[in-house]
Structure formats: C-alpha cells, structure tokens
A and B are shown apart, each in its own frame.
Chain A
Amino acid sequence: MASMNLLLALVIIIPIFSALLIAFTGRSFPSFAGWIAAGAVLLSFAFAVPVALQGIAGNATELHLWNFFFTKTLSIDVAFRVDELSGIMLFVVLGVGGLIHFYSIEYMKHDRSRGRFFALLNAFISFMLILILGNNLLMLFAGWEGVGFASYALIGFWYERQAPAKAGIKAFITNRVGDFGFMIGIFLLCWLTGSGSLAEINARCVELKNVTVNIGGMPFGYLELVALMLFLGACGKSAQFPLHAWLPDAMEGPTPVSALIHAATMVTAGIYMVCRLDGVFAAADTVREIMLLGALVTALGAAIVACAQTDLKRILAYSTISQLGYMMAGAAVMAKGTAIFHLATHAVFKALLFLSAGSVMHALSDKLDIREMGGLIRKIPVTGIVMIVGALGLAGVPLFAGYYSKEMIIGAVAADNYFAAALLIVGAAITAFYSARMIMLVFFGESRFDDETSKHCHESNWIMILPLIILAVGTLIVGHLHVSEILGHIEEENLPWVFYSALASVIFGGGFGIYYYRTHLSHSTPWKEFIKTGFGWDAAVDRVLIQPITELAKWVRDYLDKAGIDSLAHGMAHSAGALGETMRTLQSGSIGTYLGYAVFGLAILLWFIVP
C-alpha cells in the first residue's frame, strides 16, 4: 500500500508544482506553458489510474500529510482518500481534464497571456483534486473554494472586456451565497459528530437521526438542518435553481474553461458532495423532497430556456444546468450510483460538445450566434460529425452515453415518485428537441454567414481534433460501463411504461426539432425573448436583492455613518468648544469687569451669611 500512497501523493503534487512553475516562468516561455500544463495533467492521470482502479475495486488508499489545525475537541488533518466514489471522479477529472488541456494548447495559441491561462487551469485541477480526494470536510471545503477562485479568475480571463469581468464576480458571489450554507452545514456536522472525517460522519448519521437542535428557541431536526444547508451549497456550485444564473454568464470565459470547469468537473462538485455525504441526506427525508422539487424545476426550466437561446455556448450552458438537475434528482432519491453515472457520461459528452463549439468558433472567427451559422457540415465535417455524436449523447439516443445514465435516473426516480419521473421524461423530450435544433441550425440548412467569414472558414488542426475524436469514441463507450453498480445496488423501477415513454419522448422531441428546423430559423417573438432571458430571472434578482443592498450600503454611509454618528461626535466636540468660548468671555482682562464680579460675589456671600 505504501506505493499507492506515493502514487497518490504524486497525483496531487504534479499539477500543483506545474501550476507554480508556469506561474513563475509562463511570462518568459509562453509557448511551453501549454505543453507543460497538458503534460502534467496527463502524467498525473497515468499515476492516478492504478490508485483509482484500486479504489474502485474497494481497496481505499489513504494519505495523511500533516495536522491542519487542532482544538481541544476537533483535530483536522491534511489527508486524502481514494475510494469507489473518488476513484470514479479521478477518472473524470484527470481524463477529461487532460484532453481539454491538450486541446487548449492549440486553442489558446495566439493569446498573449496563455502563461496565466495554463497556470490557472493547472491550479484548477489541483483544487479539484483536493475537493474530490479530501478526507474531511475542511479539505473538501478548501478545494471547493479553490475551484471557485480558479473559476472566477478564468471566467474573467479576458478581463479587459467588461462582460467577462462582471461574469466572474457574479459567479463568485452567487457561489458565496451557497458557501454560506455549506459553511454552516460544516460547523453543524463538526460539532455533532466531533469529527471532520467524511467516513465517520456518514457512519454516525443513522444513530443521530433523531437529534434536534435549538435555534433561538425553536427545535429543528439536526440532520435535516444540516442537509438543507449542504444542499444550499450544492445549489451554488452545481447551478441549481435559485442559484443557477451565474452559469450562462460564465460562458464569457475561454471555451476550454467552459468545457472543463463549467460543464465537466467543477459544476458537478455539488452533486459529488451530496453523494459523498449521503449518510446525512439519507437521514433527512423532508430535505430530500425539497431537493427533488428543486431538481425538477431546474431540469425542466433550464431545458425550456435552452430552446430559446441563440448563442451556441449559452444553449450548452442551460443544457448543463438542466442535466445537473437530472443528477440532483438522482441524488435526491438516494440513487447516488445513477447520479454519478450521469455525471461521468455528461462530463464526456458535454466536454465534447463544448470543445466542438470551440472548433466551430475557430472556424467562424469567434462567432457564436447560431442565427449566423448553417450548413457548416460541408465546411468542417469532422467537427460536425463529432458534435452530432455529442448531441446524440446529450439527447439520450440509444447506444450513446446519455441514454443509459438518464434512463437509470428516471427509473430510480420512478421508484420514488411517478409524477417526478413523468416530468423528467418531458424534460428528456425537450432536451432532444433543443439538441436537434442546435445541430440543425449550426450544421444544416443554408449558410447564413457572410462571404468574408466563409473564406476563412477552416477545419481545426490535429491538436484540437484528436481530443474531439477521443471524446466522441468515449461517448459511445462510457454508457456501457457499469459505473452505477460500483456504488452499490440501486432500487430501480423497471416498469415498461417508464422505459418506453422515455424512449418515445426522445424520438418525438428530436424528430420534431429536426423537422421544424430542417431549413430555416423560426421568428423571434416577445415570448421567446422573455424565455431567452431565463424568465427574467436576472432582472428580478437585481431589483429584489442587489439594488436594495447597494442602496442600503449608500444609506448607511451617508446617513448613519456620516450624518449620524460622525456628526454626533462633531456636535459633542463643538458644544464642548462652545462652552469653552462662553466661559472665555468671562475672562475679559479688564479690571473693571473683575471688580464687578468681586462685588457681585461678595453680595451673594453676604446674602447667605447675614440672616
């Protein structure tokens, strides 16, 4: 086992070291940065394979490095652990991550700050590893915040423009709202179990199910409260309603970042956390109902919004939100195997879709509006074919990855709640519809771009194409791996109506999409414009939350602080001064006045003395 420990240490250290190396030398040797970064992740992946396979086989590897902090009742180590769950995550993060790094070498070739880009990308991988491998809550949280930072910095990578910089802030703050809950959840768990260790927490939750907590005089189910708080954290990171709005804006970042962070890995951290702490959620029945409801709203709402988008990356972003909703639904009915299965398949086909979108952008000089595309299959056939493969995976067509995992989630949800499963089937139809719409508008029909763009339109070179092909093959393979069974038996409803209606919905939705968009665009209507804004969510949040806080801050500054407290202090100082001024006039310096005082004083004295 000692050799496994060493390998695990290397897996974590290599990306950290590489990130630092690039951070300090990337300015001087920018053209090497990409190769170093990609090499580091692929090397780390090579070391991770045996450790992860061991973990998946049930032989967990644990690595304790040093004591992070200790108090009388709580001691937290810097420690890592690879078991079944983190083993799967290792494959996802380093496998898909490695391919995206490789792709980025070519994609970012002309950017002058690519040193910074690759340093951050490696830093992201490092934090993500800390997140999935951390053996206790604090490590998990440290990685959680770290990936949040990397995401902020990479969304705003082109900070010279306003939109990316703003999108970065939005992502970070929204996540902070989630972290507020996550942090309180962590405190609750630490004090309840007297331990930060994830395994110990899960083990003890059964006996602690009936503990209640007193908050300002009101009793709550302790674990229900914990689960609610943790779910809030998961909502932030995994872009679940109502903390979802940052993800579409995050598309302002470079496309590989969208693929890696905002589709394949970081946004799934919330799902991972829920599955990791399944002991807690198993003991919180009420919260799981809320989770299922939230997941349904997210899955359906985002799918509808995706149908109205005209920006290629925003379609994919809303689709990611929707698919995360499916995963959350799986996690909410305690079928963590299905959630993680869909997480893995989604990582592959969504990374493929984003990277293909990047290839399309390269071909069309960074155009993203699908209304100005069309007929591209003739110009860039390889990108076209792999993107169609990705879309088939997303839509859930049999043989392709998404079909198996989505079907399993719907089956598991059906075992819990028929109505919820029915809604997810409707969602699957919408997913197939917008996937078809996207492919038809981009690759088929007449070309809608100008001649200038057409002249420069070209297929990407092998560095970008190779990862696309690998991911396309992956989309065909990964659905047939029995990922869900690694994490234990899943109670599934094998009713034929679930199976057939899910399949029928995909065929119907996809077929309608292909038919409707086979030749032309549909017209824009006010309704579609409203849906396109995400049902006006951003404007509402701005009016209800952000503006009031900003106004409150200004009010506190101007009225409470300056006109209130500071003026009061000034007032006191002035009245002290004024009193001094008044008293001073008594000391006029003229003998006559003083004589007057003396006589006056004498008179008063006499008044008292003489009866």
Chain B
Amino acid sequence: MTLSLLLLIPLLGSVIALFVPEKAVKPLALVITIVTLIAAIPLLIYFDTSISGFQFLEERYWIPTFGINYIVAVDGLSLPLVILTVLLSLICIIASWNIEKHVRGYFSLFLLLQSAMTGVFIALDMFLFYVFWELMLLPMYFLIGIWGAPPRVDADGRTRGGPYAAIKFFIYTLIGSLLMLVAILWLWNQNGTFDFRQWTDPDRNIQFQVILWTLFFIAFAIKIPMFPFHTWLPDAHVEAPTAVSVVLAGVLLKMGTYGIIRFNYFLFPDATVMMAITVGVFGVINIIYGTLCAMAQTDMKRLVAYSSISHMGYVMLGMSAFMSVGRGSAVYEGLLGGTLQMWNHGTITAMMFLLVGVIYDRAHHRDITRLGGLAITMPIYTGFVGLAFFASLGLPGLSGFIGEALVLLGTWKAAGIYRIFVGIAAVGIVITAGYHLWLIHRAFLGKENPECAKLPDINLREIITLVPLGLIVIWIGVYPAPALRYISATMQSIVDNILQAGL
C-alpha cells in the first residue's frame, strides 16, 4: 500500500486544494507533502538491499480486457528517484511560498505533478506508465506558461517568455511520447499485455529490436535532454518559476535516463549492446557541449541549465559502459555511478536553482554582468552558493565527486574506445571548474556593485529549503556507502541481464 499512498495523497491534496479557502492552500500543500514524505520512510526502512528485483509490488486488475493492470513497485533504480521526488516536492512547496497569483491553481497543479512524477518511476504496466508520463506534461505546461515569465519580444524578434517556453517543452516531449507510444502499442499487440516484464523475447529479430530501441530512446533522450534535442531545456528553465525549475532539473530530467535503463536495457539487450557506444558518444557530447555553452552564458539560470545538460552527460556515459570490450565481462561501476549521479545531480541542481531563485527574487534579474561583490552584501547566501557550486564542480567530500568518479572509474574499466571518452570527459571536468569559479568570481567576489549593495541576505524560509539538501550533499560526499548499498544489487542484475540475454 505504501507506493499507492505516495500516488494518492498528493492526488487527493490536489483536488482538495481547489475547494479550500485561498489562505489555507499553502498550509494544506505543506501538510500534504510532509505526510507524503513520512509515508515514504517505510520504503527506506523495509527495502531489502540484497534483493535485485522489484519490491513493494502491488498488482490490481484495471482493464483486463486490454491487458491493462495497475502494477507498481520499486527496485534499487527507482527507489532513490521516488525519494528524490517526494523530498524535492516538499522543498518546492516551501520555496513557492511567495507565489501570489492564482494560488489554488498553482498548488493544485503542483501536487498533481508530484503524483504523476512518482507514478512514472513506480509504474510497471506500460499503459499506466504512459498515462503518468503524459499526465506530467499537463501541470508542467501550465506551471511554466502561467506562472513563468510574462511574454516579451526579444532582440532577435522572437517572442519569448513563459508561454513560449511551455509550448516548446510540450511539443518536444510530445513528439518523443508519440514515438514511444508506437513502440508500446506494437509490443502490446505482440504480447497481449501491458506488463513490460512479460515483453522480453530472446528471439526477437535484431532489426526490430533496434527500431523499437530507437523509438524508446528518442522519447527518453528528449527528456534527458540529449544533444541535439536539448534546446527546450534552457528556455524552460529561464522562463519557469524557481520551484518548477527545481523539479524540472531535479526530477524530470532523470526520467530520461531512468527510462532508458528500465525499458531499453531490459527489453532489448542485443540492441543495447549494439548501441552502447552511441549512448556513450552522446554522453561525451553532452558533457563537452554543455560545459562550453554554460561557460558563455551571462544569465545565471541559463548557465545552471546548461550545466545540467553537461552533468546528465556523465549519467549517460556511465550507463553506456556496462561491458568490458577486452575481456567481455560485465562492468557495473559505471551504471552504479550513473544512478548515483542522477540522485546527486537532483539534489545539487535543486540547490543551485533555489539559490538562483533567491537572487532573482531580490535583484529581479539574473544577469551575472550586473551583479558583483555579493559576498559582502549577502555572506550567508554566498556560503550556500559555495557549497552548491563546489559540489557541482566535483570537489571530493561533497556528493558530486563520488558520482563522477564512479562513472569515470567504470567507463575506464570498459576499456577500448571508452578510455578515450574518459579522457574527453576529464577535460570537461577542467572546464566545468572554470565556469563555476568564473560565475562565483563575477557575481560574488570583487567590488560591491552599487546596484545590488542593498540586497537583504537570505531569509529563514530559504535557508530551510537549502539545509536538507546541503546535508545530503555533504553526507553522500563523506559516506556514500549506505546510498550505494540501496542501488548496488539492482545495477548488478541489470548489467548481468543485458550480457546474459544478449549475443
């Protein structure tokens, strides 16, 4: 029942929020998300880390005529992401406390979004999965469109702003979803059920595998977002309100890599082996392309958005390196690191977007060139920025390092061309340090900019949103072993599954 509760409580809250007085909406949303977080705790306690398969399984008939059932469960891959969703939702509700426009609608949509995001990670029935996948689009579209930046015409004559970014996000994701839908329906037609665990077929023709693999892959790649499908992301981030950016970067991007590991890797092992290097190449492109773009940005939020693209590249690189070319044996460190990196990126980027939100609320712009000397005016804020940015650039002792290190360790072990990937990715690490420090230098150090000399320092509510994430970042950085224990068994079985079934 635990998993269903995680879906139902926010869903219920989202309906109730529409009918309570406007003043009570925020406390209601807060209570709902706190209760959901408490409801998620049993997952962490009772999860058996020695089992690689699904746990907390719930199966109910839904539309048996079409082979559609309500099946939810978690394993070591989805558990961290579910916890991340529940945690970030609570933090986002606190971070949204200053929303004044259409309060009911905002919080109702946000709770609906939480429910849909959780659903994506726990659904095992592909119909159910697709419902949640699409359901997530709806609140996202409105949250960016209505509560995002107002429409404006940019220097290049194009209309930008919330509605533009929202529709861009919507169209990109929808195109991907439709490709995936084709694949889902094709597989359903063959097997007569939507339970994806029954879709494996060792004798499936390799051409078909590759076609289906690609259909799924594009849908997920858009979500990651993978070069060249990434341009929706910076726009969506720049125009979205802070809390929406936080879930977008913290949770939604992970759906892409999650989907690939969950479905592509499980269903089409032969195609996965064939395409592994392609995934790795795109991972490396993401890393370098993201860092270069981030380096040239002057909008703080756009910079963080491009850094997300770069960091998701490490996840892709790690998960592509699952077999050793030389010895033909399984390598699972990369996948382990990739999955840990998903969680780490979720927490670190969430912090970074929250921090960008803080400065935007005060200065009403995010232009790095118009900031300066913030360390003098906002010392506590600068301390948090330091923590988040150094975690993001991969300082040992903070969580960003351990994920990247495992990814690179695993990728190196995969031998062959992967070693060149490691070399290129390591160059990316140097440039990554560069743009992070450069941002700190331009916005926080140096002489006070008179324009922002009177800004008040970070307030208690904002500190409350940052402290839990900060503690997680330090804890995983110093003692990552417990976190790895949760995901380790599953990662091993995923890799073994590919190599046993394939070839």
Which residues of chain B come closer than 8 Å to A142, judged between CB atoms? 396-397
CB atoms of A69 and B434 under 8 A apart: no
A188: B residues at CB distance < 8 A? 412
Contact of B441 among A166, A177, A549, A550 (CB under 8 A): A166
Task: Tell me if A556 counts as interface (CB < 8 A to partner B).
Answer: yes
Q: Which of A71, A74, A184 has its CB near the most chain B CB atoms (within 10 A)?
A: A71
B156 to chain A: closest residue by CB: A562
**A26 shortest CB reach to chain B, Å:** 12
Looking at chain A's contact residues, the main secondary structure is helix
A610 at the interface (CB under 8 A from B): no
**Could you say which of B408, B412, B417 contacts A216, with CB atoms under 8 Å apart?**
B417
Interface string of B377-413 (1 = CB under 8 A from A): 0000000000000100001110001100110110011
Q: For B230, B333, B402, B417, which residue has the most chain A Cβ atoms within 10 angstroms?
A: B333
Q: Does B253 contact A (CB under 8 A)?
A: no
Interface bits A263-296 vs B (CB < 8 Å: 1, else 0):
0000000000000000000000000000000000
Report the nearest B residue to A546, measured CB to CB.
B434
Q: Is the CB of B408 within 8 A of A187?
A: yes
Partner of B484, one of A70, A152, A173, A569: A70
Q: Determine if A159 and B326 form an interchain contact, defined as CB atoms under 8 angstroms apart.
A: no
Judged by a CB distance under 8 angstroms, whether A566 is at the interface is yes
Least Cβ distance of B85 to chain A in Å? 24
Quick one: given A71-B333, A550-B295, are A215 and B408 in contact (CB under 8 Å)? no
Chain A residues, Cβ within 8 Å of B426: 180, 183-184
CB of A57 within 8 A of chain B? Answer: no
Whether A69 contacts B415 by the Cβ 8 Å rule is no
Instruction: For the complex formed, measure the closest distance between the CB of A75 and the CB atoms of chain B, giving whole angstroms.
Output: 9
Contact B332 A71 (CB under 8 A): yes
**Chain A, Cβ-Cβ closest to B483:** A69
Q: Which residues of A contact B376 (CB under 8 A)?
A: 160
Let me know if B296 and A187 touch, CB within 8 A: no
B336 within 8 A of A: yes
Chain A: which residue is nearest B230 at the CB level?
A: A565
Q: Which residue of the partner chain, among B168, B228, B412, contacts A565 with CB atoms under 8 Å? A: B228
- Structural contact, B427 and A180, CB atoms closer than 8 A: yes
Please tell me if the beta carbons of A180 and B430 are within 8 angstroms of each other in the complex: yes
Q: A69-B484, A549-B431, A573-B171 are in contact. Are A165 and B296 (CB under 8 A)?
A: no
A553 adjacent to B296 (CB under 8 Å): yes
A156 to B437, CA, bound (A): 12
Docked complex: B137-186 residues within 8 A CB-CB of A:
158, 168, 171-172
Give the chain A neighbours of B172 by CB distance below 8 A.
569
Of the candidates B293, B419, B480, B492, the one whose C-beta lies within 8 Å of that of A561 is B293
The chain B residue sitting closest to A551, CB to CB, is: B296
Q: Does A190 sit at the interface, judged by CB under 8 A? A: yes
Contact B395 A173 (CB under 8 A): no
Please give, as numbers and ranges, the residues of chain B lying within 8 Å of A179 by CB-CB distance.
429-430
Answer yes or no: B74 CB below 8 A from chain A CBs: no
A557 at the interface (CB under 8 A from B): yes
B289 CB-CB contact with A under 8 Å: yes
Q: List 27 A-B contacts (CB under 8 A).
A: A71-B332, A71-B333, A71-B406, A72-B332, A73-B333, A74-B409, A145-B397, A145-B401, A149-B390, A149-B395, A160-B446, A161-B447, A165-B445, A169-B437, A169-B441, A180-B429, A187-B408, A191-B409, A191-B412, A214-B416, A216-B416, A549-B295, A553-B295, A556-B292, A556-B293, A561-B293, A569-B168
3 nearest A-B pairs in the assembled complex, by CB-CB distance: A142-B396, A159-B445, A557-B296
Known contacts A72-B332, A180-B429; 19 additional CB pairs below 8 A are A68-B481, A69-B480, A70-B484, A71-B336, A71-B409, A145-B395, A146-B396, A152-B437, A160-B445, A161-B447, A172-B437, A173-B430, A183-B405, A184-B412, A184-B422, A554-B296, A557-B296, A569-B172, A570-B158
